[in-house]
Amino acid sequence: MKRLLTLTVLFTQTIVVCLAEDWMGQLDDNAFFSQVSIPGTHDSATGEGWTGFLGEMFGPSMGLTQDLNIDQQLACGVRAFDLRPCVVDNELVINHGILQTKAKFPETLKQLCRFVTEHPTEFIVVVMRHETDGDDNNSQWSKMMSNCLGSDDVRPLLADYKRDLPVGELRGK
């Protein structure tokens, strides 16, 4: 009896995770974005691991907010990501305050773009801010961010927010 119960629980959990990858397909195209409750994570890239002296030293004990990496969060149905890029050694990296994760912003953005391309019923919300604690408000941030968001493989997948934005216009973005 215990084996049957265990198998049932494992099978049920597997189904839930698999179905979570395309859960937005059930949303009405005419529903407004503002009407949808979208699961999201805070400091989303902390599940990617840590780098840099402070990140390696204090990240696991003081900065970790996510146990799952970005791909795993996507598979579980997360569609809103809090990403905080800053400039370190002329690269946009994702930090949690002064703690540097292993995630690079351009690669993470491409990862999200790849997901919505492979799952065209879905859309992703990125809440982003310049993590100035990580780079002392580096003046190159704005130019680097414009280049990243304006690239040919990213720009077509971006949507400009408007108050009455329907879900149908967001799919695959």
pLDDT for the residue numbered 19: 57
Mapped to the 3 state alphabet, what secondary structure does the chain carry?
Answer: CHHHHHHHHHHHHHHHHHHHCCHHHHCCCCCEHHHCCCCEECCHHHHHCEEHHHHHHHHHHHHCCCCCCHHHHHHCCCCEEEECEEEECCEEEEEECCEEEEEEHHHHHHHHHHHHHHCCCCCCEEEECCCHHHHCCCCCHHHHHHHHHCCCCCHHHCCCCCCCCEHHHHCCC
16: pLDDT confidence band, cut at 50, 70 and 90? Answer: very low
**Residue-wise pLDDT tens digits, 109-146:** 999 999 999 999 999 999 999 999 888 888 999 999 99
Residue 10 pLDDT greater than 90, yes or no: no
